[in-house]
Amino acid sequence: MALRLVSDFDLGKDVLPWLRAQRAALVAAGAGGGGPGVLENNYESLRVLNVERNGNIIYTYKDDKGNVFFGLYDYQTKQNEHLYTFEKDLQVVSCSVNRERTLLATSLVQAAKEGRRNELQPGSRCLTLLVEIHPINNVKVLKAVDSYIWVQFLYPHVESHPLPENHLLLISEEKYIEQLHIQVTREDGNRVVIKNSGHLPRERVAEDFVWAQWDMSEQRLYYIDLKKSRSVLKCIQFYADEHFSLMFEAPLDVSLSDSGFKLVNFGYDDLQDQEKLSKHPTLCVFTNHTGSLCVCYCPNFDSWEQITYSVLYFHKGHSKTFTATLGHVDSRVTKGITFLSLDYYVAVYLPGHFFHLLNIQHPDLICHSLFLTGNSEVIDMLPHSPLQSLSGPLVLDWCSGKLYRALLNQSYLLEFLWNTRLDCEKLALLQCVLSCGRDPRRLEAKIIQWISENISACHSFDLIQEFIIASSYWSIYPETSNMDKLLPYSSLLTWDTEIPGITLVTEEIPLPLMKVHSFKGYWEKLNSNLEYVKYSKPHLHYNNSVVRREWHSLISEEKKGKRRSTVYVRNILDNAIKVISNLEARNLEPRLTPLFQEEDNHQRLLMGLMVSELKDHLLRHLQGVEKKKIEQMVLDYVSKLLDLICQILEASWRKHNLHPWVLHLNRRASAAEFAVFHIMTRILEATNSLFLPLPPAPEFYDGQVIIQCRISASELLH
C-alpha cells in the first residue's frame, strides 16, 4: 500500500508479557492472589495514556481489585518500569511524567459504579495530583474541581542535565490553561522532593478556547478562541526555561462555535463526551522543517455521498477545499476522516472510501497530489480505527495501543507508477517518489526504465522534461529551504484536466500575524515563507530565457566574425569545464555512450551560460548563504541535468545491446538503432523547449546531423 505503517510499539507485545511475568512472579512468591485465569484476563483495562517528547510511553491498567497501576515503556532501552499505584478504584483522565521520572502528574475521576460513594474530595468530580515517585513519597493535590483536567509536563530542548525546575501544564475543561512551576531539591542522596510544595507558582497561558492541540516534539501549543463568532488560531512556543511566547494569530474560516470543547494530542480521549466528539469537526495543525504551516479541517458530514475537507496552506497564502465523491455509500467502516503528517505530504483518508496524498510543499497544481478512491488494496489495508498523528512520522492507534512510524511506501509507489493509466496519477507519483527518494541512483534507474517503456503514453506533460526538472530540483533541495521559490520543481505551469471524483476550490487566505520580532529555526523559515507570499507575488523560479537570448547572440556574433571579450567567453567556457569535471568526478564508471568525447563549443557555451545566469539568480535571492556554497550548488544542479540525460541514453543503449560507436544512420537502421534514435529525438524535443544544455557529442547532437537523421528515420519508417 502507498502508506507503510512500521510498528514501533505494541501494548500487546511490548508491555503485556512483562506485566504477566511480573504477576506470575508475585503469585509464585505468594505475594499476589488469583490463579492462571487472572493472568489471562486481568489486563483488559490496559491502555496507553500518553506519549512524551522523548518517546516514552505511559500506560495504565487495573488489577482484579480495581487498583490503578501506572507504567512506563522506555522508548530507547525498550524496558518497562512501574511508576506508581493508586489503591482505589478510580478512572484516569490524564497522566504525564517529567523527564527525570521523579514526578508524576495525573487527573482521576470516580469510577462509575452504582452504590459507590464519592472517594474524592466532597463536591469534586476530578482530582488532579502531583506525586513524588523517586522515591515514592508525598502526594500533592493540584486541583479538586467539578470539571475535567488534563496534565502535560513540558520537556525542555536541553537534554544534558536535570533541571532544578519543572513546568506542568494544566488544561481545564473550563477552557483555560495554566502553567505550574515546580522546584525540586535532592535530599539524602537521590531522594527528590518538591520544594515549597505549599505554594507552587502558576500563570495563565491561554483562556476562552474551544480547541487545542499539543505538539510534543516542538513543545508548541495551538489553540483556537472565538472572537465575535470568528475562529482565531494562536500558537504558543515553550522554551527550556519558564519563558513562553505567543508566536502568531491567524483567522480561520471554519465553524467551531457550536462544536463544544476538543483536545488533540493531550493523551487518551476516553472521558470527553463521545457523542459530542462525534459531532465535532476534525481539525489539526501540521508543520515541518521547511517552514510550512497547514491547518486541515473537515466539518461535520451527514451525507455519505460525498465528503468535503479543506487544507489551509498558510505558508503559501491560500486554501484548497476538496470534495471527494464516495463510491460505496453502504460501506461505512469508520467514524470520521483522518489526517496524517508525512513530511512533504499530508495523507487524508477514509478507510474503505479514499486515500489522498496532498503535496504541501508544492500545492499549486492539483496534479502534484495523488487521489485514490474505491475499494482498492491501498485503501482496504489502512487501519479502520482512527489514527492520531503525534509528531513527525509517529502516529498512534489509541484503540489498539499501537504506535506506528508512518512512511510512504516507495516500492509500492514505483509499482503503481508502472500500472496507472491516468496522466495526473503518473505526475503525482513521479513527484512523490522523487521527493521521498532513498538511494537516488537506483531510484532514477527504475524511473528511466519506466520512461523508456512509456515514452509516448503521456499526453498532458513531457515525461523526460518532468523527470529531469524534478530530479535535479530534489537533488539539491535539502541545501536550503528557499530552493522551492527559486528553482522550478516541475515542467508544468498550469493543469486544466479534471481529476476523476475530485472537485477543488482554491481561495486566498489572510496570512498569520507574527507576534514576535526575533525568529530562529522553524519560525525563521515560516516568517520567510510569509514574507515571500506578501512581497513576491511574481514567481522567482529560474528559467533559461536570458540564457537563450545570450546564447543566440554569441552564436550570431561568431557567424558574423565578431568577437566578444575574450575574458568573458573564457569565463563561460571555464564554467562548462567545471561542470563536466564535476560530473565525471561523480561518475567513476566508464560511459557506454560516446559522450563528452569531442569538443562542442556551442553546447559548452550554453552550459557555461546557464551556470553563470543561475549563479547570479541564486546570489540575488539567497540571503545569508556563502558564495562558495551557491557556486557548488549551481555546479551540482547543472551536472545533475546532464547526468540524467546521459543516464537516459545509457539505459536505452544498454537495453538494445548497442556498443559504443555503432549507431549508423547512413544505411538502413536496425530496430534497436531506430529505438535509440527515437529516444534521442525525444530528449532533443524535451530539452529544446526548456533550452537546457546537452552533453557535448557532435556526432549525436549537431543540428544539421539531427535533421539528416530525421530524414533517414522517416525513410526507414516508409
**Following DSSP, what letter does each residue of 622-638 receive, concatenated?**
-TT--HHHHHHHHHHHH
Question: Which residue spans within 606-711 are E strands per DSSP?
Answer: none
pTM of the model: 0.90
C-beta of residue 618 within 8 angstroms of C-beta of residue 633:
yes
Are 259 and 281 in contact, with CB atoms under 8 Å apart? yes
Residue 26 to residue 64: CA distance in whole angstroms: 14
Q: Span 217-239, mean pLDDT?
A: 91
> Alpha-carbon distance 250 to 313, whole Å?
12
Give tens-digit pLDDT for 91-108: 899 999 999 899 999 999
pLDDT tens digit sequence for 550-571: 999 998 888 887 777 889 999 9
Indicate the helix (H) or strand (E) that contains 342: strand 338-342
In the block, cell 502516529 appears at 395
Q: How many CB atoms sit inside 10 A of residue 278's CB?
A: 10
pLDDT in tens, 398-407: 888 999 999 9
| Separation of alpha carbons 445 and 447, rounded Å | 6
Query: What distance in Å separates the CA atoms of residue 424 and residue 53, rounded to the nearest whole number?
Result: 39
Q: For the residues 318-336, what does the mean pLDDT come to?
A: 74
Write down the residue that cell numbers 515517585 correspond to.
133
Complete edge-to-edge strand list for the sheet that includes strand 370-373: 338-342, 345-350, 354-359, 370-373
H or E stretch covering 680: helix 671-690
Residue 713 scores a pLDDT above 80 = no
pLDDT for 207 equals 92
Taking the CA atoms of 338, 176, 247 and 180 in sequence, report the sign of the dihedral they define.
negative
- Give the pLDDT of residue 424: 95
d(CA 489, CA 475): 11
Residue 211 grid cell: 480547541
The residues, ordered by sequence, that sit 6+ positions from 314 with a Cβ below 8 Å of its Cβ are 250, 293, 294, 295, 509, 511, 512, 530
Quick one: which of 449, 381, 461 has its CA closest to 415? 449
Query: What phi and psi values does residue 49 have, to the nearest 5 degrees?
Result: -100, -40
C-alpha cell at 294: 497547514
For the chain, give the percent of residues with pLDDT over 90.
Answer: 51
pLDDT digits (tens, 9 = 90+) for 567-585: 999 999 999 999 999 988 8
Give the pLDDT band (50/70/90) at residue 290.
Answer: very high
Q: Per-residue pLDDT for 528 more than 80?
A: yes
Cell numbers given for 220: 508548541
At 103, the amino acid letter reads L
Distance, in Å, from the CA atom of 296 to the CA atom of 310, rounded to the nearest integer, reads 6
Above 80 in pLDDT, residue 386?
Answer: no
